[in-house]
Amino acid sequence: MLYIGSHVSFNKDTQLKGVVEASLNNNANVFMFYTGSNQSTVRFPINEEITRQAHKLMLQNNIEKEKCIVHAPFIINLANNSDERKYQFYIDFLKQEIDRCIKLGINNLVLHPGSHVSVPKEQSLLNVANGLNEALKENQDINIYIEFMSGKGTEVGSNIDELKTILDNVIYKDKVFICLDTCHINDAGYDLTKFDDFLIEFDKKIGLDKIKCIHINDSKNIVGSHKDRHANIGYGTIGFEVLVNIIYHERLKEIPKILETPFVGEKSPYKIEIQMIKEKKFNDFIS
Ligand SMILES: [Zn+2]
């Protein structure tokens, strides 16, 4: 089964119901959203009645909540603990974000591992694991998906070994997984025309069962550029065919694929990109 959707916005008035409606309008059967701004920790209260209506709408339209995702804001940085007070703030904010996910009934949270800044790389990976160990509780119904990063600036988690170090050091191993991102993997230095080589290495070191989500983006930059600038599918250096091969890969069938491609002017590209993916046919909708 193909699980395809996109990032959609979560607004104060329509909340999860607005997310579901926007996704249905795009003919998506999964979605991802931030519970507020991706750049700040300002959050408004979750409305239970709207959440109830959203779940009803999901049931009526065969959207499986187990496949849908919340994305934590970018500013959470568990890698750098040089400022104890800030590090603790991020852990506490992550706890609140986990509570919001549970309240919304969307129990999968994508988290960027962060940037090490001045902290030695090896220590920063342990900081991420320690932060998760403090934020998570044993009987909590939550899955954290650590995102594979491009290695922009001092970002950590931009290769398989670093992600493995994080996973090896988390206590609740049944709650921590990996989210891939095709743009990030490309920019981190893996040639996606040889995606099977990547999967073989990932399987050997971490295990393919740990992959729970894939962000589908083309890249504005070449392999190994460490830039992280997303392009619309078919309009970047990865290309439409390579992306379609990943989306329909035999070993990744049940994994939700989420588009985070840029808007074209003011216009959302997701409806048309989802259609292109479903038809496996590129349609030049920009130029
Ligand atoms: Zn992300």
To which residue do tokens 């607004």 refer? 11
What's CA 126's distance to the chain center, in Å?
21
CA 215 / ligand 1 centre spacing (Å): 8
CA 72 / ligand 1 centre spacing (Å): 8
User: Mapping DSSP to helix (H, G, I), strand (E, B) and coil, where does residue 57 land?
Assistant: helix
**Domain residue ranges of the chain, discontinuous segments joined by +:** 4-279
CA 147 / ligand 1 centre spacing (Å): 6
262 token code pair = 């840029």
Indicate the Cα dihedral angle 220, 221, 224, 230, nearest 10°.
Answer: -20
Strands (E), the chain: 4-7, 30-33, 69-71, 108-111, 143-147, 176-181, 211-216, 218-219, 230-231, 257-259
Count CA atoms closer than 13 A to 32's CA, side-chain side: 28
Count CA atoms closer than 13 A to 223's CA, side-chain side: 9
CA 73 / ligand 1 centre spacing (Å): 9
CA 146 / ligand 1 centre spacing (Å): 9
The Cα 228–Cα 242 span in angstroms is 18
CA 74 / ligand 1 centre spacing (Å): 7
CA 112 / ligand 1 centre spacing (Å): 6
CA 145 / ligand 1 centre spacing (Å): 10
CA 140 / ligand 1 centre spacing (Å): 23
Fold of 4-279: TIM Barrel (3.20.20)
CA 47 / ligand 1 centre spacing (Å): 25
Cα–Cα–Cα angle for 13, 19, 23, rounded to 5 degrees: 145
Contact 278, 29 (CB under 8 A): no
CA 54 / ligand 1 centre spacing (Å): 24
> What is the mean pLDDT, run by run of 10 residues, along the chain of 287 residues?
97 97 98 91 93 98 98 95 97 97 98 97 98 96 98 97 98 98 98 98 98 98 97 98 98 97 96 98 93
CB neighbourhood size of 89 (10 A): 15
User: Mapping DSSP to helix (H, G, I), strand (E, B) and coil, where does residue 71 land?
Assistant: strand
Q: Give me the amino acid identity at 79.
A: A
Contact 10, 16 (CB under 8 A): yes
What's CA 63's distance to the chain center, in Å?
18
Phi and psi (nearest 5°) for 273? -65, -40
